[in-house]
Structure 1
Amino acid sequence: MAEEIAALERTGTWDVFTPPSSVRHITCKWVYKIKTRSDGPLERYKTRLLDLQNAFLNGELSEEVYMQPPPGYSIPDGMFLMIDLGPVRYFLGLEVSSTSDGFYISQEKYIQDLLTRAALGDERTVETPMELNVRLRATDGDPLPDPTRYRHLVGSLVYLAVTRPNISYPVHIPSQFMSAPTSVHYSHLLRVLRYLRGTISRLLFFPSSSSLQLQTYSDATWDSDPDDRKSLSAYCVFLGGSLIAWKTKKQVAVSRSSVEAELRAMALLTAEVTWLRWLLADFGVSAAAPTPLLSDSSGDISIARDPVKHELTKHIGVDAFFLRRC
């Protein structure tokens, strides 16, 4: 607390004086937080009266603000103070380690905390996060009396997919039933947790010696939702040997064939690649060479190459033309 007051005084955050009787003043409070390392031990005690060692002082206020204690507010010249915490090791649940070969990113402590909160009641693990050919319906099972726990677990798993692309699809499926989850949906959610328990130490690796060439993979699951008959698009993008983007998303329209579903997935990926190429160019990375887009659908590859298949593509002409043009 003393260090915080000293920082505020050093940067001239306020003037101390008696406020006019006609003004209203705001209150403030101390905020305490215990900061821990990624593996659990105490790192430091953190105290804040305002925020980020006064980083907010970059903003100019046009009106007078009175605060108690103390009243008043003024902006000093210069830069605000920041603390150099060294190379990043733990940030928002992400654990980062580096070697001469590259960077490793994981969320092992986050998974441990999630499993503790989930309180599974057993130590079982499973080999895969989801069974094959699962087609969940909204009416499967009995409604949960309180969906709060279900929603909390789904939200936590969605954030965990930041470093675990292999749970993107298994988490996408239960997340569709957030409004009215059932016992069957919950059991599939617990399977994902048991899979994570058995694979808790897996990491994402970003090699330091890697090409800056994009390579992409696209796939789709046709007619995957038995309730609305919509398909799923999925893709992943590599920059050299580094996996940098992935997504699983339900398509907005019903596809009349597997080829159509695959084509829509390829169009979604093409839009992502177009943006990534622009982003790399902004970073000064040349993207003059074409980006390979790999798909296992020979029908889509034929449509992307042949502009005369009007009968097959007239109802999805926009996606087909966009894909072919890019």
Structure 2
Amino acid sequence: MEEELFALKKNETWILTQLPKVSKYKARLVAKGYNQVDVIDFHSSFSPVAKTQFDVNNAFLHGDIEEDVYMIPPEGYKDASPNQINKSFVTLLVYVDDILIVGNDLDKINLIKQYLNRKFSIKDLGNAKYFLGLKIHRKKSGIYVNQRKYILDIMADTGLTGCKPATVPMIKGVKLNCKSSSTLNEPEKFRRLVGRLIYLNFTRPDIAFSVQQLSQFMHEPLQIHWEAALQVVRYLKGTPSLGLFYPSNSNKLLESFSDADWATCTDSRRSLTGYCIKYGDALIAWKTKKQNTVSRSSADAEYRSMATTVCELKWISFLLKDLQIPVQLPIPLRCDNQAAIHIAENPIFHERTKHLDIDCHLVRDQFKQGFVLPQHVYSKVQQTDIFTKPLEHTAFYSLRDKMNLRDLHLEEGILD
């Protein structure tokens, strides 16, 4: 604590003064606005502020910069020779005062750490082992990430440390709604538990469907919702060390799976979108989400799920590009609904699907541009079933294994 206070004083973080009487205005800085993409968000407005009536050409020329700034020449700039491009790459992931630094040049990484230490007085923790509650274990074959300690805390908080484990997080056939049982006497405990399960979902995609179902009832939970939440905890009891494994020898190809459960919500009759995205054998993105509007057919619901998946793929492709990781196109977009595939590939269907206009054009345009390639898969090999419905344990375990969820504590005797 004294080190923290010393660092604050050393950097002259604040001075005590009287609060002046000022007018309050609110504004936001939007970085890289030029990254907006046609069809996806080209015509969207973000953080609107008062519009100006003039612009300054080459405004950056009118400011003095004392530091040297190195940039990779943009596409189309031909004057720079290859030996003039900086090949080192270092990136920082910053969350408040917790920082992960990654790069391909150890010397550059050390220089950055030394610079940050001079400026802010940092504590070098060495190779990453824990970050924001995530345990990170590195080995030659890959990286293993889990939240075992966090799960043990959840079990202790709910009094289920000694409970009998459940085989699945949600029992097949269970349908949660807002009027099936009595109101929960202590709604705060439900909200606290579901909030913790939402954070646990960062490394446990196997509970994504259950968490989405429970999070719909945060405003007024019922007794049956609390019992369903405890079912998830009992499932975690049997799998506390399960975590995502990212193999180092995997292929470098993106692939995606999209699915929908039509009219699954008994309260609103809205459908459920589910998708997962892999980079090689590594699962890097997944989601279970209720759709914003009611779909008039299963094909409508599936197509809206495809559009949501395409938007996520676009964002991931931009992120990978920033990390200097090439993306091979087209990206397979696997769906088990033939009608949705035909809509994407055949413009004749568009006349009969005008109510799908935006989603229709989004997926169709990205298909025409060679960004995605819709492909049909049979329902029994659809990997996103685990994100759209409760399954019996055999099917659940099969899909869980395909997400590369592993227990290295059990397999290799890793200690905390």
Match of 1:177 in 2: 217
Match of 2:231 in 1: 191
SS in structure 2 at match of 1:236: strand
Q: 1: CA distance between counterparts of 2:2 and 2:301?
A: 62
Match of 2:322 in 1: 282
- Does structure 1 conserve the Cα–Cα contact (< 8 Å) formed by 2:7 and 2:120? no
Structure 1 stretches of 4+ moved >3 Å: 1-9, 11-16
| Match for residue 233 of structure 1 among 264, 269, 273 | 273
Alignment TM-score, normalising by the size of structure 2 = 0.61
Match of 2:44 in 1: none
Q: Does 1:268 align with 2:311?
A: no
Question: Structure 2 stretches of 5 or more lacking a match?
Answer: 20-95, 98-117, 367-416
| Match for residue 299 of structure 2 among 244, 256, 259 | 259
| Match for residue 112 of structure 1 among 152, 156, 159 | 152
Structure 1's 15 and 271: CA in aligned 2 closer, same or farther, altered over 3 A? closer
- Does structure 1 conserve the Cα–Cα contact (< 8 Å) formed by 2:152 and 2:161? no
Shift of 1:13: 4.0
Alignment TM-score, normalising by the size of structure 1 = 0.77
Structure 1's 80 and 256: CA in aligned 2 closer, same or farther, altered over 3 A? same
Count of residue correspondences: 270
Which structure would you say has the larger Rg? 1
Question: Structure 1 stretches of 5 or more lacking a match?
Answer: 26-50, 53-77
What do residues 204-253 of structure 1 show as CA deviations (whole Å, max 9, x unaligned)?
Answer: 00111222211101111111100110001010111111111111111000
- Does structure 1 conserve the Cα–Cα contact (< 8 Å) formed by 2:254 and 2:278? yes
Q: 2: CA distance between counterparts of 1:325 and 1:188?
A: 41
SS in structure 2 at match of 1:120: coil
Q: 1: CA distance between counterparts of 2:127 and 2:161?
A: 38
**How large is the Cα RMSD of the aligned pairs?**
2.3
Match of 1:80 in 2: 120
Match of 2:256 in 1: 216
Q: 2: CA distance between counterparts of 1:146 and 1:181?
A: 9
Structure 1's 180 and 81: CA in aligned 2 closer, same or farther, altered over 3 A? same
Q: 2: CA distance between counterparts of 1:121 and 1:199?
A: 12
Q: 2: CA distance between counterparts of 1:102 and 1:300?
A: 36
Q: Does 1:143 align with 2:148?
A: no
> Which segment drifts farther, 108-117 or 126-135?
126-135
Structure 1's 197 and 24: CA in aligned 2 closer, same or farther, altered over 3 A? same
Q: Does 1:155 align with 2:195?
A: yes
What do residues 257-290 of structure 1 show as CA deviations (whole Å, max 9, x unaligned)?
Answer: 1111111000000011011112212222222421
Match of 1:322 in 2: 362
Shift of 1:316: 0.7
Superposed, 1:10-159 pairs within 5 Å as 11=10, 13=12, 79-120=119-160, 123-159=163-199
One-letter amino acid of the structure 1 residue matched with residue 228 of structure 2: H
Structure 1's 220 and 83: CA in aligned 2 closer, same or farther, altered over 3 A? same
- Does structure 1 conserve the Cα–Cα contact (< 8 Å) formed by 2:155 and 2:161? no
Match of 1:242 in 2: 282
Structure 1's 196 and 2: CA in aligned 2 closer, same or farther, altered over 3 A? closer
Q: 1: CA distance between counterparts of 2:8 and 2:269?
A: 60
